[in-house]
A and B are shown apart, each in its own frame.
Chain A
Amino acid sequence: MAYLTQPDYVKYVCSCGQLKPITNLYFCRHCLKIRCGFCICHEVDSHYCANCLENMPSSEARLKKNRCSSCFDCPSCFHTLSTRATLAQPRQPVPDAAGDTKVENKQPKKMYYLSCFNCRWTSRDVGIPDQPVASGGWPERTNPFTTRFNQLLDYYKAIAQQEKQEKLERERKKFAIRGKYITLTDKTGLTGAMARNIAGLPSSESGSSAAIANFTPSQASAEVEELPEDIFTKDVNLKLTTSMAQRLASPAWQPTSVSRLHPLAKLLSVKRSQRCRACDHNLTKPEYNPGSIKFKIELLAYYHVPEVKIISYETVKPGTKSALLLKLTNPTGHEMTLQLLRPEDLPPDDKEEPKSIEKSLEKSLNLDKEPSYYKAIERRPVLSDACRVAAPAALLTLAQRDDAAEYDDDAHQDTGGIVLWRKSNKLALRLEVETSETASPGSPASATLALQYSYRNTVPPAANAQPHRVHTLYAVITLQLGLVAG
């Protein structure tokens, strides 16, 4: 089981070799393999704002630079800003030249400003005027370097264009067929030029060449910005200078003084769907609604692979046998037969699946998906063999998960054998851990264990395949049993 705040005591070996707790693993129903976040493909599904839970279509998100238009973060402490309302003072009666007072705007008006409840920063601190509407309408800043950047971009675009044209021209010259007659129709581009000439249009190249001609390169100067004179005499106020985090929170402006801080539009979050790299099937797919935490597809290992929990264990000592109590749970809706194995007894991974002609054809067409590229990801798990769980040959059966049975109290006490007790889809085992003589005291005692379990495939079968095949699958598990005692 995985815990939120404690280390993971029981880890499963993913098919890519990573060790992860079962809650972090996926199970691909199509490859029948355990997958983890490292060896699957993540995809951005939808954008939403985590504060106002507002969905944003991805095209709009791209336009708004992935920022929410109504929520803001504090530029000082990065907490979410709240909108506060105040009543604007009605304008003071001003005596007119004629002597009679004129009263305008008697009605107090509601005005809004942004305030941080964590550090008490407000948008008034930096002189942003209050807004008449509660959301939106906050003044936006433009990057001071944008103009120059766009000049440069136009310039380089023109150069790239020119290079491309020159290249084309060279090609054209290379392959120009010298016929007997001069044709004005094709290849030379002369017709186009002539047509432009007649119409009085500027020639086609002028666009790019004008951009090049009008460009002014940066001018170097002998003067460098010197330190301000008063830096040696002025007191330093640390609170007036921004920290690195505050500067980098707005990469375009990077204010150095606190008075230049500006509310940060909240960065959107994404819902991700996960896909198996080997078979391209979805492993998880979240619901579209940002408020929902449910999934349309969720092939989590927690629902498909038997779960192992440690009930208790004796302290592990080198060269001895110690007791270990485990609980196994069958999360599936089908009965499961289980057997404990030693990791080295696992059958070698059968890479070559019985493949049909269609499949191999598909593979040869799909050149991108080379098997070699999966190898970069694959790791050899580091399993220590100092401790090992003695694997009894007994075949265990686990009943299917039954929600009604949860209310039964009486555990079925099993006497004899390795089964301690049994209760609906759960099973407690009494096992022994053998520790080798060479295990050094003080080192972490991790025992490895392999599980062989039957799995009923519930994928709706193709037309010609036999329905509901039962597969024999394997999982390797490491158990953290504290430290080896001295």
Chain B
Amino acid sequence: MNSAITTYHESPGQSFLAGESTVVSAGTPPSEAGRTLLARLRAGDEGAFGELVDKHHGALIRMALSHVADREVAEEVVQDTWIAVIEGLSRFEGRSSLRTWIFGILIHKAKDRGVREKRHRTFSAFDSHEDDHDEALDPSRFHQSGEWAGHWAFPPQPWDDQTPEKLLASQQAVAAMQRAIDALPVTLKEVLILRDVDGLESQEVCELLKITETNLYVRLHRARERVRRAVEVYLEGMVPEAV
């Protein structure tokens, strides 16, 4: 594990990455709960640190996997992130939320590791990029011409009120959703994980990824649609009473 001393600091309004090993986060102020947690961390409360790890570890792993190809490497990147958090905590001034700061460190480390990995890899599906001209939804589902051009030709079949909880209770459905997330290009996966899986505010996501709100919603919708489509395909393969 690389636990070399690395300096992380905040500086509102400046570049997110000010240097090779410097992370700068800005913007979204911490909540009351965030300030309380930070005070406990600064007081050396080991339980508070454990809570922080429990709360964010899963999302950090998924975020790291957006940039590196294998789970073991993602674990190393996240471990390095936590070490950097521990080392940098005394210098963290709370001008951004703790969560934004931690994700900023992770993204920097994961991108750096991903770049180094790519130097040793040939082309693979992992390197796929999102084409900005791609449609969110298959255009053939809409009428292409005539009075109803742009309106549904093949609308989605309704789900009943219990469908979401049945999906969550089904290992196959959860696996189908996770496969759909894994298959997303990095630009879509990172917004989906930050916004929907870990629940960051849209402003925080834009700050971390340095993208506009318009761009965020274009990417986020494409990502959500691909997961929705995976569920649609899963449901089409089920007997009608099953879900």
Chain B associates with chain A: no
Q: Interface of A with B (CB < 8 Å)?
A: none
